[in-house]
Amino acid sequence: MKKLWRTINRHKIELVAYRIMRAVCLLAVFAIFQRHFGIWTTEPAADLTLLSALVLQLALLVRLPHNDIMPLRNRSIYMAGFIADETKFAFALSTATFFMGVISIPHLFGYFLIANFSSQMLLFFVWRKYTLKSSRPQDRRIPSPGEKNIVIIGALERGMHSADLILKHPELYTRIIGFVDSRRETFWRYRDIPLIGRPENITGIIARNAVDFVIMATEAEDFLTSRAIFEAVERMGTKICILPDIYESNISRCCTSSLNGQPVLLYHSVPENRIALFFKSLIDRIGAAVGIIFSFPIMALAALVIKIDSSGPVLYYQKRLGRNGKIFRMLKFRTMTVGAEKQKNKFQDMNEMSGPVFKISNDPRVTKIGKMLRKYSIDELPQFFNVLWGDMSLVGPRPPLPEEVEKYAPWQHRRLSVKPGVTCLWQINGRNKIDFEEWMRLDLEYIDRWSLKEDARILAKTLPAVLKGNGM
């Protein structure tokens, strides 16, 4: 449970709990009106109405927390969104029940909508009060799981204004790492936020600090120099918040958003379709659970033969980089002898891959059983647990090692802008038969054209590729 709590964003857990309470609240109001007033014509009609109501409410809740770059917005803006959603819910459900002809007492249905709206509003205020009360004070020395890491470009008036918008609301779960500017002295600070570098060092700052997005708050006279910063950040796949200068984007897509009520333009180079991403996350968790159940006999057998074949642990925990460079522990079955990582330098001359990746087709460190496990990708089955915990997705770029990412060119960092996956285009297009540059190109191609249909296509082609024994 401790591992699960550390892995999953705390705010996401609060949102899931809130959504469950919303559904329970709706069920309670529905049961009271049906039991005491019998406003639906028949039991099947009541069941159909309830199903419609739950589907409608789920569709609205998927939008939480709307289009804000922060998990929570100020109360007036969030309240307006809540009222708009509940109004849409009432209108859609009324229209559906009218055409289905399932209401026996129409005016009581109006009372039902009012009762549901009132109970949902009460629940909203309770949840809002809880999340505000439970928000920890900002301590920039101790990162909190799930908080957003921000770098502000510009340390003059507009940069300090951006910091003020964030710091006055600790419920935003946001950590300002520091300012980047060439006009301030080295030891300059604002509200205990330090100046951490100059614009020409921005790619290194992002790579070292797992930055979730960058706020461009340069002054108007710095437009020409800030353009170069924008392009450097964009190539790395990090989200860019413009306040409010407009740039011509080559990769990112722009949408309107808000920074605690302040209108901004948000540039993102990864998919932002919230409904599609919600279903991707849902498919990931269900698929991982199904994968664990069906592959359990294979995993149990693999664990047994690993233990018989060589001494050492069955599972191997390896530090990998996830979305935006966040470190997580990836699970694999051990396929090498104990201490193989320490022997890596001895075999650098035998590396068969270009770029920073290290691969040897006949690696002497791999055990006999390990070769078979790798050939059929059985060693990667424990990664279903990483998907279940939220570290990984079923489909996405493979998670790299930290030492590999240190050698990335800036444009290659963009592959870290999405959650890593168990399988990807690289897996079904030759795997170790393609070079590093082509691998990176395939990952960026996946990011640029991502869709649920593309994920389904990759998953469908993964099993045949695995059965052919294209591993190693």
Based on the fold, state whether residues 42 and 125 are members of the same structural domain: yes
In-domain check, residue 335: yes
Based on the fold, state whether residues 241 and 279 are members of the same structural domain: no
Q: List, for residues 412-456, the tens digit of each pLDDT value.
A: 999 999 999 999 888 787 666 677 888 898 999 999 889 899 999
Based on the fold, state whether residues 245 and 282 are members of the same structural domain: no
End of a domain among 268, 292, 322? 268
Based on the fold, state whether residues 462 and 324 are members of the same structural domain: yes
Based on the fold, state whether residues 10 and 116 are members of the same structural domain: yes
**Count of domains forming the chain:** 3
Give the confidence band of 246 by pLDDT, cuts at 50, 70, 90: low
Higher-pLDDT residue of 457 and 174 is 457
Based on the fold, state whether residues 308 and 445 are members of the same structural domain: yes
- CATH number of the domain at 228, please: 3.40.50.720
Based on the fold, state whether residues 45 and 99 are members of the same structural domain: yes
Q: List, for residues 10-69, the tens digit of each pLDDT value.
A: 556 667 777 788 888 888 888 888 777 776 666 677 677 777 787 777 776 655 444 345
As a whole number, mean pLDDT of residues 375-398 equals 92
End of a domain among 268, 288, 304? 268
Q: Is the pLDDT of residue 215 over 90?
A: yes
Residue 341: its pLDDT value, please? 76
Q: Which strand ranges, in their side-by-side order, compose the sheet holding 253-259? A: 189-190, 193-197, 174-180, 148-153, 213-216, 239-242, 262-268, 253-259
In-domain check, residue 156: yes
End of a domain among 268, 301, 328? 268
The alpha-helical segments, DSSP class H, found in 40-145 are 43-61, 75-100, 106-133
Based on the fold, state whether residues 199 and 84 are members of the same structural domain: no
* Residue 324 belongs to domain spanning: 274-467
Distance CA 194, CA 180 (A): 9
Based on the fold, state whether residues 52 and 153 are members of the same structural domain: no
Distance CA 90, CA 281 (A): 28
Higher-pLDDT residue of 274 and 232 is 232
Average model confidence (pLDDT) across the chain? 81
Based on the fold, state whether residues 263 and 294 are members of the same structural domain: no
pTM for this prediction: 0.68
Based on the fold, state whether residues 423 and 461 are members of the same structural domain: yes
List residues bridging with 132 in a β-sheet.
none
How many beta carbons lie within 10 A of that of residue 304, not counting itself?
A: 11
Based on the fold, state whether residues 77 and 183 are members of the same structural domain: no
